[in-house]
Chains A and B, each alone.
Chain A
Amino acid sequence: DAKTTQPPSMDCAEGRAANLPCNHSTISGNEYVYWYRQIHSQGPQYIIHGLKNNETNEMASLIITEDRKSSTLILPHATLRDTAVYYCIVRTTGTASKLTFGTGTRLQVTL
């Protein structure tokens, strides 16, 4: 699986959009970009994933650049409950494919 690079930490004011970047310059054509988050003392939670098109669900939006070498997770209206470590993961499809976590981005949402 391709390696990802994320900033170690970010701050965001409550109610504002949180934009979390991820670089994955060695991504290959059959690899998806996944985002998980981990709130303190809990297991990681799936947020969203995409291949090459932008994706949106009830939790977030995922913007993938045209060359697929980077992506941005957008939380449109961050709340204090969004404070967590966010992991960007690149993986191939298939049920046997493991998740390779980096150290993620620690997002702190403040009043």
Chain B
Amino acid sequence: DAGVTQSPTHLIKTRGQQVTLRCSPKSGHDTVSWYQQALGQGPQFIFQYYEEEERQRGNFPDRFSGHQFPNYSSELNVNALLLGDSALYLCASSSTLLYAVELYGYTFGSGTRLTVV
């Protein structure tokens, strides 16, 4: 059973550019959350998507946007990249079935390492 798949695994971009990161959730999961993890820090919540809509958002600027597709996969877009956007971007999926998150927790991908130069 495939877990959460993220692509690409590594990416180098220049300041001011735009980037798109992709996530395929675990089979059977319909909710996708995105997290940013700076070096030496815990992951920080960016936003969550369910039924193709943003359901909850963390404290991130509008430069960060997302999308969820009918097959539940998701994209994270970051515009006007800053050096401070360099981080590991993690995707986590879960199911809205009753108590699924409580029973099994969230499933995380291995992340995309974004470096902005």
Contact = CB atoms under 8 A, between A and B. Distances in A.
Interface of A: 32, 34, 36, 41-46, 49, 87, 93-104
* Residue among A45, A87, A96, A97 having the largest count of chain B Cβ atoms under 10 Å: A96
B31 A95 contact: yes
Interface SS of A by simple majority = loop
Interface in B32-47: 33, 35, 40-45
Interface residues of B, number: 32
Contacts of A93: 101-102
B90 to A, nearest CB: 5
A100 B106 contact: no
Given A49-B102, A93-B102, A98 B45 contact: yes
Contacts of B95: 95
A49 B4 contact: no
A104 B41 CA distance: 9
B101 to A, nearest CB: 5
Contact of A42 (B40, B45, B106, B110): B110
B45 A100 contact: yes
A43 B58 contact: no
5 interchain residue pairs of minimum CB distance: A46-B105, A43-B108, A101-B42, A98-B45, A95-B96
